[in-house]
Amino acid sequence: MDAPVTLITGTRIGIGRHLAEHYLRLGHRVVGCSRAPVDWTREGYKHYEADVADEKGVKTMLSEIRRSYGHLDHLINNAGIASMNHSLLTPTSTVSAILATNVVGTFLLSREAAKLMKGKGYGRIVNFSSVAVPLKLAGEAAYVASKSAVVALTQVFAREFAEFGITVNCVGPGPLATNLIRSVPKQTIDRLLAQQAIPRMGTFDDVANAVDFFLRPESGFVTGQTIYLGGV
Amino acid sequence: MEQGQLEAPRLDVPHHEVQQVVELIIDNVNQLKDAQGLKVPAHLDSATTLFGGDGFLDSMALVTLVVAVEQAIEEKFGTNVSLADPGAMSQEHSPYRTIGALANYALQRLRAG
């Protein structure tokens, strides 16, 4: 059997980079993208500089995947941005940027990936939400709204894509040591962790483990689900 | 959304270009027929209704056809087009209502680059 083809968005740093390296170690052919160039490279990895909210760039990337590999097995919609700010101090440009990357990006990548997966009658899509959604985190209104939308997209896509053999699921990590929370005060993180059943920071491997489960061929009867990590 | 935006305007394009795309769509309808056991009229031309009214495609077959046509256009013309349209499911204004309407719509998108 050919090595699976796995597309991961937002692979320059953080969870995306970790997942890219993880699936390369497992023998996948990994395609990644980010808005800025990556400063790392691995055998079996192909990188595109693409903004997930840019339709033309995304369609070009998926066309090239179709030409190079003929199909796509997995899509991991990891790319995301956040902004910690009280709603009364949040400019609409920030709201638009968050919705563009987190919601439009997830929509666009899923739509184009599903067209490609449909050809083989098999696919796995994993989206990224956040524990900020069930915790209704104050100070993250736009981010929480965008990640709620990702859960909603996951549920509807699951129904629309089921007959193509494609499952769509979602992972909602808690705080991890990534750039996304670099500027968040320690007390805020501690308060957030206290609301988890297991009050510790998540690790990249915790996230990869949940994604692994959704990607397994044996998980074909699991779709439309969101796993929040840490017991939220 | 204004209704005018949903229409696929007829283009002033050479007849042979429209015919090329019409044939490409008919090829894809025939492939769909073979692959999915779709009931298709014996004769297909640009006036054949695809969707809505007495069209022979249900909404899922329409999705499959439109995606196949997008890919076939990319292969034939080397240009990546999106045939997604907000009026897709509208009976009156859908650019997918006949083979000819879909061909015109695809050419319109091709020209827009």
Given a cut of 70, whether residue B11 has pLDDT beyond it is no
The model's confidence at residue B3, banded by pLDDT at 50, 70 and 90, is very low
Cα torsion through B32, B33, B38, B44, rounded to 10: 110
Here the CATH number for the domain that contains residue B24 is 1.10.1200
B60·A118 Cβ contact <8 A: no
Half-sphere exposure of A181 (CA within 13 A, CB side): 20
Q: Higher-confidence residue: B45 or B10?
A: B45
Q: Which domain holds residue B23?
A: 13-112
Blockwise average pLDDT, block size 10, chain A, 232 residues: 94 96 98 96 97 96 96 98 91 97 98 96 98 94 97 98 98 85 80 94 96 98 98 95
pLDDT for position B8: 45
Instruction: Quote the number of domains for chain B.
Output: 1
**Residue numbers in B near A111 (CB within 8 A):** 84
In a domain, B89, yes or no: yes
* Closest C-alpha to A45, from A25, A59, A61, A74: A25
Selecting from A55, A59, A163 the residue whose C-beta is nearest the C-beta of B60 gives A163
pLDDT for position B30: 94
Rounded to the nearest 10 degrees, what angle do helices B99-112 and B59-77 cross at?
Answer: 50
Selecting from B67, B82, B84 the residue whose C-beta is nearest the C-beta of A118 gives B67
Given a cut of 60, whether residue B2 has pLDDT beyond it is no
A66·B82 Cβ contact <8 A: no
Give the predicted TM-score (pTM) of the model.
0.90
Q: Distance (Å, rounded) from C-alpha A125 to C-alpha A117?
A: 10
A163·B80 Cβ contact <8 A: no
Selecting from B64, B74, B82 the residue whose C-beta is nearest the C-beta of A55 gives B82
- The Cα of A115 is separated from the nearest Cα of chain B by a number of Å equal to 7
Q: Distance (Å, rounded) from C-alpha A206 to C-alpha B74?
A: 40
Given a cut of 60, whether residue B9 has pLDDT beyond it is no
This complex has an ipTM of 0.78
Four-way CATH pick for A5-228: 3.40.50.720, 3.30.70.1560, 3.40.50.300, 3.40.228.10: 3.40.50.720
Domain range annotation of chain A: 5-228
pLDDT for position B92: 67
Q: A161 with A125: CB under 8 angstroms? A: yes
